[in-house]
């Protein structure tokens, strides 16, 4: 589990990297243990205890009483949608043209609240208006994924070195309500946060709390529906992970456990779709625990279900158990990384050829369509390769379906040719 690189020892987990530096570096002293923001990093054997695969008792999390949700008719779910996440600040019109050429009809854009309303009450519409205008003009459906509270909104005792939620959910609700009012009928869906079971998306180690998240979700749902009843509200997708607790610091909560906790905390009735991030790593999309295809591998993870694209099937089973069989899953981020020389934390990308990436993505869409309970699938990503750092530390190039010069990788061509 711990790899020694000579000057640093590294322990990798889903979405977090723990480093012990053996020499002085600008950001750490020799012997110091630090946490690195690794994005979609791999998990090594031994990180996830066997107990992490067993659902915990939701009653242990202090389930909130469920009040009657707002008496509003649920919008009709959309037909099956084909989506891509785009970098809207990197030649958006060119990106939208490629979305159209591929026959896709949705794009996802992440809206960082801290960048748009850095000063309370001063919303930078100039950053968002061009995005909404361009997507609407192109006839493409738009999902806003709204994340990261500005400093003025966060609790005083939070870890300001990482993103986190507001102290008062109503501040977030006011912001998304303002978005829904200004972009009524143009922004089709809102994802409420991102990977909130992870320490560096929710204000620091040990602060993850499903009840707090559901309070945010419920406030946002009411505000969005009041401003634009036709807009769809999608729950924030947990990161695929087992429970990760290092030296008493809770870094991640098992995503399926966390999803159960969301129901226990009263989320039922306050969403139109469920966000998920099914990741495949170096596993083909048809694989699952106990059904692993023989293929050459340089990296081996555990058999925890979060290593497999089909993890989403377990989410839907939880929905059925909670009387939400009629609701659908939204894959707000999924993909396979492919690189002959990936950044070390993404070693699994070496096991996926570009042809693998292409065939896995196409097969994943086939699986999603066949299930009948998947609404929209967003590929991560279209055009982040050209803005990635030279070392590709966050695997933006490895996951991208375009090259840095905007020429198509085999995955883009395969998705464009795929029957829709």
pLDDT computed for residue 288 by the predictor? 96
Mean pLDDT of 136-147: 98
304 Cβ contact partners less than 8 Å away, ≥ 6 residues apart = 43, 48, 52, 53, 242, 289
- CA-only gyration radius of the chain, Å: 20
CATH code at 56-417: 3.20.20.80
pLDDT computed for residue 302 by the predictor? 73
- The closest alpha carbon to 198, from 271, 114, 156, 254, belongs to 254
Bridge partners for 110 per DSSP:
145
At 381, give phi and psi (nearest 5°).
Answer: -145, 170
d(CA 69, CA 87): 35
383 Cβ contact partners less than 8 Å away, ≥ 6 residues apart = 86, 87, 90, 91, 94, 95, 98, 400, 402, 406
Q: How confident is the model at residue 157 (pLDDT cuts 50, 70, 90)?
A: very high
Largest Cα span, the chain: 61
43 Cβ contact partners less than 8 Å away, ≥ 6 residues apart = 12, 13, 14, 241, 242, 301, 302, 304, 306, 307
pLDDT computed for residue 299 by the predictor? 82
pLDDT at 10 over 90: no
34 Cβ contact partners less than 8 Å away, ≥ 6 residues apart = 18, 19, 20, 21, 27, 28
Mean pLDDT of 334-355: 96
Over the stretch 223-278, which tens digit does the pLDDT of each residue have? 999 999 999 999 999 999 999 999 999 999 999 999 999 999 999 999 999 999 99
How does strand 33-36 pair with strand 189-192? unpaired
Listed by start position, the domains of the chain span 56-417
At 408, give phi and psi (nearest 5°).
Answer: -75, 140
Q: How confident is the model at residue 96 (pLDDT cuts 50, 70, 90)?
A: very high
Helix 255-264 vs helix 210-227: crossing angle, to nearest 10: 60
Q: Is the peptide bond before 381 cis (omega within 30 degrees of 0)?
A: yes
- The closest alpha carbon to 159, from 195, 208, 214, belongs to 208
């Amino acid at each position: 589990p711990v790899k020694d690189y000579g000057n640093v020892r590294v322990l990798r987990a889903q979405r977090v990297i723990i480093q012990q530096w053996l020499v002085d570096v600008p950001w750490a002293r020799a012997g110091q243990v630090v946490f690195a923001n690794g994005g979609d990093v791999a998990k090594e054997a031994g990180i996830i205890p066997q107990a992490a695969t067993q659902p915990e008792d939701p009653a242990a999390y202090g389930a909130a009483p469920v009040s009657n949700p707002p008496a509003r008719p649920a919008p009709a779910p959309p037909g099956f949608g084909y989506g891509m996440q785009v970098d809207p600040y990197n030649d958006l019109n060119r990106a939208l043209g490629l979305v159209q050429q591929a026959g896709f009809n949705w794009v996802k854009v992440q809206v960082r609240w801290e960048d748009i309303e850095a000063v309370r009450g001063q919303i930078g519409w100039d950053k968002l208006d061009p995005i909404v205008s361009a997507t609407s003009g192109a006839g493409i459906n738009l999902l806003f994924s709204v994340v990261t509270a500005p400093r003025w909104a966060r609790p005083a005792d939070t870890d300001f070195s990482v993103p986190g939620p507001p102290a008062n959910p109503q501040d977030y609700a006011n912001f998304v309500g303002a978005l829904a009012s200004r972009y009524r009928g143009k922004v089709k869906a809102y994802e409420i946060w991102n990977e909130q079971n992870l320490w560096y998306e929710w204000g620091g180690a040990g602060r993850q709390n499903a009840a707090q998240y559901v309070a945010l979700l419920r406030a946002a749902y009411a505000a969005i529906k009041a401003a634009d009843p036709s807009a769809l509200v999608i729950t924030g997708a947990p990161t695929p992970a087992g429970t990760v607790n290092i030296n008493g610091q809770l870094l991640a909560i098992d995503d399926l456990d966390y999803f159960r906790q969301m129901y226990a905390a009263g989320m039922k009735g306050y969403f139109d779709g469920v966000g998920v991030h099914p990741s495949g790593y170096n596993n083909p999309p048809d694989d699952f625990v106990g059904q692993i295809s023989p293929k050459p591998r340089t990296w081996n993870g555990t058999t925890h279900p979060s290593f497999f694209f089909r993890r989403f099937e377990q989410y839907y089973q939880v929905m059925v158990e909670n009387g939400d069989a009629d609701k659908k899953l939204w894959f707000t981020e999924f993909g396979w990384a492919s690189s002959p020389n990936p950044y070390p934390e993404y070693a699994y990308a070496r096991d996926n050829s570009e042809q693998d990436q292409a065939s896995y993505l196409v097969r994943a869409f086939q699986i999603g369509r066949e299930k009948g309970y998947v609404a929209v699938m967003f590929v991560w990503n279209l055009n982040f390769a050209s803005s990635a750092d030279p070392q590709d530390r966050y695997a933006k190039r490895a996951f991208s379906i375009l090259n840095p010069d905007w020429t198509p990788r085999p995955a883009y061509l395969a998705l464009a040719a795929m029957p829709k």
